[in-house]
Amino acid sequence: MIFATALSRPGRLCQPNSSSPTNVECHEALVGVISNPGGYHTNLTGASAGERRGVFNLPCRLPLGRGPGQADPLEFFFANKDMLDIYQGVISRFGSSDQMAATGTITCEGKKVQWWID
């Protein structure tokens, strides 16, 4: 079941740095998401704009943050299918690089949420 709707998926490429995940690490994260069905209740209540909170913490991280104009409480369900779509989109669009960094915005249960691959 999909709970998120893309506003900007697969997002935009950010400038990778020495701590950015490698292409291999993002492929491994993709396998991890596939092997772990379900999803996560995500609570960003109290998070400041730009604050990143981890959902799936592998070397190829996928933190989430408060989207533009979102007030508290900010809680939603983030399904593995949604994570899979983000990882697959970033890999297919930016996977030719050795390291990847990307960001985008999705809507989860009517709430705007920022995501990062970093």
* Contact partners, residue 39, CB within 8 Å, separation at least 6: 3, 77, 78, 79, 80, 81, 82
A 10 A CB-CB count for 38 gives: 9
The number of folded domains in the chain is: 1
pLDDT attached to residue 4: 55
Per-residue pLDDT reduced to its tens digit, 33-87: 888 878 888 999 999 988 999 866 678 889 999 998 999 999 999 888 888 888 8
Measured in residues, the chain has a length of 118
State the pTM of this model.
0.84
pLDDT attached to residue 48: 92
pLDDT attached to residue 94: 78
- The structure tokens 């291999």 sit at 24
Per-residue pLDDT reduced to its tens digit, 3-29: 555 545 556 666 677 788 888 998 898
The residue segments making up the domain with residue 95 are 4-117
